Amino acid sequence: MGKQMTEMLKGTLEGIVLAILFAGPAYGYEITARLREQGFVHLAEGTVYALLVRIEQRGFVDVEKVPSEKGPPRKVYSLNAQGREYLEDFWGTWSFLAERIEQLRKERK
């Protein structure tokens, strides 16, 4: 990723992953693959795994080990009530920031 994108993902990637989990349970490799499809082509694998560990420790997700047909068992993450609450906070923070930045963009000729 470019340096700009890397910095901008700090704080937002967490919300992005929580939003993906809001749609339904998923595991790390799957989440990374989806993000890559959506244009985050150079997103590092390790970044997503580290983030998942973090949100697990903070109690935003429930985890279940599920055997895989190919490869080692998957750790499937499900957003729980606390995670949904935190996601709501994220949308609030995002909205505030996005509105102000869009305002600044409008002012550019």
Partner DNA sequence: TTCCGCTATTTAGTGATACTATCTACCAGT
Partner DNA sequence: ACTGGTAGATAGTATCACTAAATAGCGGAA
Interacting residue ranges for a copy of itself, rule: CB under 8 A: 2, 4-12, 14-16, 19-20, 22-23, 38-40, 89-91, 93-94, 96-98, 100-102, 104-105, 107-108
CB of 31 to a copy of itself, least distance (A): 12
Phi then psi dihedrals of residue 78, to 5 deg = -120, 130
Q: Whose Cβ is closer to a copy of itself: residue 12's or residue 68's? A: 12
DSSP state of 62: E
CA dist., res. 58 & res. 61, Å (int) = 8
Q: Which of a copy of itself, DNA, none interacts with 45 (beta carbon under 5 to 8 A by kind)?
A: DNA
> Is position 30 an interface residue for DNA (rule: CB under 7 A)?
yes
Q: In what order do the strands lie in the sheet with 74-79?
A: 26-27, 74-79, 61-66
